[in-house]
Amino acid sequence: MIGIDLGTTYSAVAVVDRSGRPEILPNAEGQRITPSVVFFSGDAVLVGAVAKRSAAVAPLDTVQFVKRAMGDPAWRFETVSGQQFRPEEISAIILRRLKEDAEAYLGEPVTDAVITVPAYFDDGARRATQDAGAIAGLTVHRVLNEPTAAALAYGANRPTVGTVLVYDLGGGTFDVTIMRIADGEFETVATSGDRNLGGFEWDNALMRLINERFRAAGGPDLLDDDRTEADLRDRAEWAKHALTMMPAARVVISAGGSTQTIEITRAEFEDVTSHLVSRTRDIAEILIEDAGLVWSDIDRVLLAGGSTRMPAVRAMVAKMSRRVAESAVNPDEIVALGAAVQAQVLTAEHSDGAVPRPRVNGVPITIRDVTSQGLGTLARIEGTSRMENVVIVAPNTPIPASNSELFQTVVDNQTSLLVQVTQGDDRDAAYVKVIGERELSIPPYPAGALVSVAFAYDFDQTVSIELTDLTSHRSLGTFEVSDVANMTPAERDRATRKIHELEVS
């Protein structure tokens, strides 16, 4: 079983080797990470570095940053030839390439995987990731939170670590998680984040700055044309990386008959992105407070995600935490390495002793995660026609989790109940997402008849609901949430055939 970090900008694959250590598997080009970019060229589909280089010359046939669209039922990528692809299908193409590269390196078929996701991914995005794995030909045994994976990679060979804050800033998402790590036990205390905050936002800010300088020098608006915008993004990303190591970077931009060399200093870059750094700080500070902790309770700060290389980010984390953050493991690789550890744990659990379970100081590794967002249902506010959200499983509840709440019928002889399952923590129904619903029959009782609504949330983020009639003490029925944003089994089967027919390299 392999571990996969399916990243917004880069992806990686890892396994636990015979000595018990996780290792990154190189791709077909010998690189340890693969750009999460897909380029369509007729009947051929390219994934990785060549696809990334194609973005500037064929932007309408190149798709990247698809992870940010996972769980969005309306998102489609359409090629110049008119082919349309859902986010799950694009991600499946990337996963298929990663799978085939792993098979080539290992010399054997690969069918099973653990795939990581941002801790703050909602149910729809998690299920979309599982669907993408299935379409690519993988059995996805666990969708693992990325900060948890990072902590696994960091603590897998350290007997005692203590309370760790994982600050995970990737290409497209930000997570912050507090974990307790000691003698093989990895327990998540609390997690938060923003699934639309990552290096992509820093790139956008730098693009705007370069474009302003280019226009001030007499050039056209680079954001008005797909090709010049793609070229601008490529150069802004290069400049961002250069400014990590140098105090200034120069980019050469040509468009509309104008060629300009534009210099950006690190100070200027940090000024236009300071609000983004502050946003990550605020999320971390709120999480510490909500967990009932103070910074002196945190023993270590662990950095994950390639965007943590930016000096302004590291300086802010050091100032906020009053300690130097640790990055003993490559931040681009640490999540994939942790996914491999989780994969080995699951392999051992199902091997009847044939595969040794990873251990720390002789103690088998155990992993306890939490829910990232609240789960509940909509209920009518008594005496009104307005609905409110009632949280049944609170955020940061250890999983597997279960809880129940009592509700009552609102009219005499009511014969059905509509259960609308929500995700989110706000009581206002306008600020939560309905991820599934089911209408169940109930015997006709006078208004006020009590009904218990019980939620169960398992390791694989499957949400099960049971309603119990407390008048007759009988179950009214059970169902699993199937997010309306996700593929149906028939759609998934069609997508599998569609992706299987592509020539991917």
Residue of 88, 100, 122, 168 with catalytic role:
168
Q: How big is the chain, counted in residues?
A: 505
| Residue 145: CB atoms within 10 Å | 30
* Of 401, 460, 470, 462, the residue nearest 436 (C-alpha): 462
Rounded-to-integer distance, Cα 275 and Cα 56, Å: 28
Contact 183, 165 (CB under 8 A): no
Based on the residue annotation, tell me whether 123 is a catalytic residue of this protein. Answer: no
Element (H, E) at 288: helix 274-290
Return the SS3 of 47.
Answer: strand
Q: Which residues contact 285 (CB under 8 A, 6 or more apart)?
A: 320
Count CB-CB contacts under 10 A for residue 385: 7
**Cβ within 8 Å of residue 447, ≥6 positions away:** 408, 409, 410, 411, 412, 414
Contact (Cβ atoms closer than 8 angstroms) between residue 442 and residue 451: yes
What interhelical angle do 199-216 and 226-245 show, nearest 10? 110
Of residues 146, 201, 229, 231, which has the active-site annotation? 146
Q: Which of 420, 481, 487 is nearest to 75 (CA)?
A: 487
> Which residue pairs, CB below 8 angstroms and at least 24 apart, start in 212-216?
213/260, 213/262, 213/264, 214/253, 214/255, 214/258, 214/260, 214/262
- Report DSSP state, residue 370: B
Catalytic residue among 67, 123, 201, 333: 67
CA-based nearest residue to 376, from 392, 395, 387: 392
Does the CA dihedral 270-264-9-367 come out positive or negative? negative
Q: What is the CA radius of gyration of the chain?
A: 24
- For residue 207, give Cα distances in angstroms to 13, 55, 225: 31, 15, 14
Active site residue 52: no
HEC per residue, 127-142: HHHHHHHHHCCCEEEE
Non-local (6+) Cβ contacts of 32 within 8 A are 12, 24, 26, 332, 333
In the residue annotation, 439 being an active-site residue is answered as: no
- The CA-CA-CA angle for residues 401, 405, 406, to 5°, reads 160
Number of neighbouring beta carbons within 10 Å of residue 80 = 9
Q: What is the dihedral of CA 364, 138, 194, 190, to 10 degrees?
A: -20
First to last CA, the chain: 22
Active site residue 168: yes
Residues identified as active-site: 5, 67, 146, 168
